[in-house]
Structure 1
Amino acid sequence: MPSPLHLHVDGVSFSYPTHRVLTDISFSVPAGKVTGLIGENGSGKSTLLSLLSGRQRPDVGTIYTPPATGFIAQETSLPPRAPARALIEKSVEELRAIERTIEDLSARLDDPRCAELFDRALALAEEAGVWDLDARIATVLAGLGLGDVSLDTPLGGMSGGQRRRFALATLLLRPTDAMILDEPTNHLDDAGVDFLISELKASSGPVLVASHDRYFLDAVAHSLVDLDPALSPEGGDGDPLHQGTVYSGTFSEYLKARDDARRRWTDRYNAQEQERERLESRSRQTEEDIFHHDTPKAEGGKAKKFFADRAAKTQGNRVRSARNRLAALEREAIPAPPEPLRFQGMPDSRLTSLGEPVVWARGLGLHGRLAPLSVKIQPGEHVLVEGPNGAGKSTFLSIVEGSLAPDRGELRLAEDISIARLQQDDYWEDVSLTPLDLVGDIIVDMGLLTPAQASMPLDDLSLGQRRRVSLAQILRNPPDLLLLDEPTNHISLALVEDLERAVDAFEGTVLLATHDRWMRKTWLEHPRTRILQLEAESPSPR
């Protein structure tokens, strides 16, 4: 049996009526450690969290969780008209009860039994921080960006993001032996993420956190469980038998391990192909190449023929051996590793030589969505569009794309440029089409989908898989101007890294809007990057 303060998953598998989601998942989270759970949409993260919470039971395998394991509730059981104060008080009612117990026992200290219970309750109160509880509540609410929200606000009157942050606050305030969190950095700003990191690092119990936030994972996780197929010849084709690879170390170390695995796969494949070429060359030898049919007339010739025939027989055995080994190689051949993501070819453009801006805006704006801004963006620039929520980042990209009309100012685009946009969410008019219908073999060659997945209708694919189809469309037909709107949505963290490398080598012009802190940091470190800062009152590029 694992330690009662460990979280342990042993050989867990789970299937829905139509398909299997999890296969033979095993890992442990020790006390005082944080493990990240990663994998793109559809990989089984939500299902595994549901199994851990007890809402569902595994088909096979065993799950151990500490007695008091806390989850972020998707919905509160309190009515919408209940104030936020009721939610907070519900989460700390055990601690309030300790305080009431101490008050009650303090009036009966002349009874030796009460005195002993009083001492125990006092020690428990000290350990649990009961005396600082109100200050603790204020600290947690402020850290999660809720300090200005009145606790008298009805739950139903809050935004979805505020309710989610209050749910996270209740988990941090509640006494627990372990915590399980699902995308906890959603709706948190940078300061809120940093506060959460400090809270989880200080936790004494095991913590399992499912997240797509690379910055957060790199800062907080001691290990990672990857539900995407392993990057190897055996697990690289979507085989669910290779789910749940455990990586020790930070997210940065996980990336290094993935790169090492890719190199090992490439080395194995190259060695295999060299051996294949050698065996094919030997197997192509014919009988005429081996045996001599001319009969020498002299005795010396007969001796030469004897040794020649014996050598030919030996060589013939070698040819047959080579053919047998070649057949075995074909049966057990490992596939070629997926090609790195890359744009297939840039359109011919004279923009750079002419010195003409790709985008020229003067006083461009849309009432209530984008304050007037003026900017010139030159060919080949990579521009990070920054600004607080509501500043109009996506609105600006939509206006440049032509899907949204401004109500003020002027916008000019270079003549005859092609524009493509990777949007926050994908929309398809005909979901009966398959990825192969839309983009061809490129989606398989680059490892974006398996052949089986590429042959399925879009309607049967997950959000992450559909996102890969959109990505393949852009890679196959790269534009002059590429608009990336939250490009890391719905795709695996390893694929995001591949996409970033491809964009970094992209010769065209890029406008990027993202909340991804890791991606912003990476872009800001690159010399090609320019910042377009959008503000509520006076947006200005710099």
Structure 2
Amino acid sequence: MVAPLHIGLDGVSFAYPGGRRVLTDVSFAVPSGSVTGLIGENGAGKSTLLRIISGSLAPARGRVVTPPRTGFIAQETSLPFSEPASALIDAAVAELRDIERDIATLSEKFSAEPDSPVLAADFDRALARAQNSGVWELDARIASVLAGLGLDGVALTTPLGEMSGGQRRRFALATLLLRPVDAMVLDEPTNHLDDAAVDFLVGELDAFNGPVLVASHDRYFLDAACDGLVDLDPALGAEGGYGEDTRQGARFTGTFSDYLKARHARRERWASDYAAQEHERERLEKATAQGSDDVFHSEENKSETRVAAKFYADRAAKTVGARRRSAQSRLEALERAEIPPPPARLTFRGLPPHTATSLGVPAVVAKGLEVDGRLAPLDLKLQPGEQLLVEGPNGSGKSTLLKILDGTLKHFGGELVVPEEITIARLEQDDAWSDLGRTAAEVYAPRTPSLVELGLLSEEQAATALADLSLGQRRRVSLGMILATPPDLLLLDEPTNHLSLVLAEELEEALLDFSGTAIITSHDRWLRRRWRERIARGDSRARVLTLSTLWTEEVWRE
């Protein structure tokens, strides 16, 4: 039997104990040479599906095929903390080192028996294998991968237990890139990678000849690395669909940018089909209510006999009855195959009364604002209506700044002036709920429009306890509470974390229409790039503040 050169899934379904189904009839294929992105918000089943592909979980139904040597890296690794990094690297390249040893052994034997055709053939095969596997460049290859992932400054004698979580994660990724495999399966590989390391990984995947399946929330990475996407989210997203488009595992060809265009086109078709359906429904409902006067408008001729009058009356009744039955039948067929309305797009519902816009003073003024060990001194002035993106590496103080601004963090150095009249709300990086037993609708009440009308949750999800919702779904509830009554000063801490990719796009679009002041922190490269595009287009509201652990540098609008 010939080993498959692709990753294939056919009708895969899975439910956790208790009946919570996360995968339903998922079918798609990743051909050799393709890098396919697996997308969907937290809870959509991405990690579960990857565990099924790796063999650590068995599907309830369906079939999975993979090439014989499929390398898998999970989102969380279980590497031995007592081992030095060198042990991991040695294990990853052990098969390639064996080729070197085989060549050395065969070389000695061939020197002793130079006329042996068997040894000559074995030696030629070993050389070819070494050439194809890059054995001769192995040490340079190891150095290149470690440097590309930002690990060249970490001593290989360092035990894994003494490394940060991000370093351990990058070493796990390095071992996969160094190991000779036929296919790769990756779960959120860009977590803990800086921009340069992400670009390095994109190049590695582009040069790999086998199939690659990668689950990711990183829109920049998906756009740069992938030639196809598989969407595990149903059609709750605004560019989703209905009917067949709502299935899990819908495949899209092209980059993430192409995916967005395809989703938008589906949305447009959906809206058009829904409008046509409602027009037809209105017509049919009128037809079912028609009487004979609506069909026959001529006045009765006084010279007609009673027999003729009865003839025309019977004919009218028969015609009206047939038309009513036909309209009713078509109306019932329409309702059986009813197209639901497209979900609402995200929107800010306008500023509450007494906003700071008319105060004639800055919304935020900070001088020498700092927190020892957490935020280097910075100066900042924001006018009402301006929007500031705060970027920088982990530990540079992005979240600390927002906590100072909303009053959560009260001990800081420097001066901060925020007018008392303005309202402030912060979307936290990690949502905290005091009562996870309440449903999403109960927590959200009595705000309007509802979470369902906002297109954030389905009816079933809104009636579900917060404890049973995914991180992404809880994030939607927090977002909805802000959308219902947006503040004068909106603070968003890593707002695209845990959101579906399409919802993240909608949030960024909604910010363009928000007339209040906003401060957003983000490591999201896609969001950061688009923000700078706003500045380049002359958007006078957009600004950028770049933080580091050593200094702050403000980049004013150009």
Aligned ranges 1:138-537 → 2 under 5 Å: 138-230=143-235, 231-234=240-243, 242-286=247-291, 298-299=303-304, 303=308, 306-307=311-312, 309-349=314-354, 351-440=356-445, 442-526=450-534, 527=539, 528-537=541-550
Identify the match of residue 132 of structure 1 among 120, 134, 137: 137
Q: Please report the TM-score for the alignment, with normalisation by the length of structure 2.
A: 0.92
Shift of 1:362: 1.2
Answer yes or no: is the 8 Å Cα contact 2:288–2:325 preserved in 1. Answer: yes
How many residues were matched structurally? 538
Structure 2 partner of 1:32: 33
Encode CA deviations 1:418-453: one digit per residue, 9 max, x unaligned. 111111111111112112112255211122111111
Answer yes or no: is the 8 Å Cα contact 2:425–2:491 preserved in 1. Answer: yes
1:347 is paired with a residue of what secondary structure? coil
Q: Please report the TM-score for the alignment, with normalisation by the length of structure 1.
A: 0.94
Identity among equivalent positions (%) equals: 60
Answer yes or no: is the 8 Å Cα contact 1:7–1:66 preserved in 2. Answer: yes
Encode CA deviations 1:45-79: one digit per residue, 9 max, x unaligned. 11111111111111221111111111125676764
1:88 aligns with 2:89: yes
Distance 1:2 1:245 in 2: 28
CA pair 78-314 structure 1, distance change in 2 beyond 3 A: closer
Answer yes or no: is the 8 Å Cα contact 2:290–2:320 preserved in 1. Answer: no
CA pair 299-208 structure 1, distance change in 2 beyond 3 A: closer
What letter is aligned with 1:249?
A: G
Shift of 1:157: 0.4
Bigger Cα displacement from structure 2, 184-193 vs 80-89: 80-89
Bigger Cα displacement from structure 2, 6-15 vs 76-85: 76-85
Encode CA deviations 1:358-408: one digit per residue, 9 max, x unaligned. 111111111111111111101111101122322211100110011112421
Encode CA deviations 1:153-198: one digit per residue, 9 max, x unaligned. 1111000000000000000000011111110000000000000000
Distance 2:275 2:304 in 1: 50
Distance 1:168 1:299 in 2: 94
Distance 1:108 1:289 in 2: 103
CA pair 329-59 structure 1, distance change in 2 beyond 3 A: same
Structure 1: stretches of 5+ with no match in the other structure = none
Bigger Cα displacement from structure 2, 521-530 vs 1-10: 1-10
Distance 2:156 2:77 in 1: 15
Shift of 1:454: 0.6
1:532 is paired with a residue of what secondary structure? strand
Distance 1:333 1:78 in 2: 52
Answer yes or no: is the 8 Å Cα contact 2:242–2:339 preserved in 1. Answer: yes
Bigger Cα displacement from structure 2, 49-58 vs 405-414: 405-414
1:444 is paired with a residue of what secondary structure? coil
1:16 aligns with 2:21: no
Answer yes or no: is the 8 Å Cα contact 1:344–1:477 preserved in 2. Answer: yes
What letter is aligned with 1:13?
A: S
Answer yes or no: is the 8 Å Cα contact 1:108–1:115 preserved in 2. Answer: no
CA pair 295-486 structure 1, distance change in 2 beyond 3 A: closer
Shift of 1:493: 0.6
Answer yes or no: is the 8 Å Cα contact 2:392–2:523 preserved in 1. Answer: no
Shift of 1:536: 3.5
What letter is aligned with 1:539?
A: T
Encode CA deviations 1:247-305: one digit per residue, 9 max, x unaligned. 1111111111111111111111101111111122233334676689x987634686466
Distance 2:296 2:12 in 1: 61
Distance 1:517 1:445 in 2: 30
Structure 2: stretches of 5+ with no match in the other structure = none
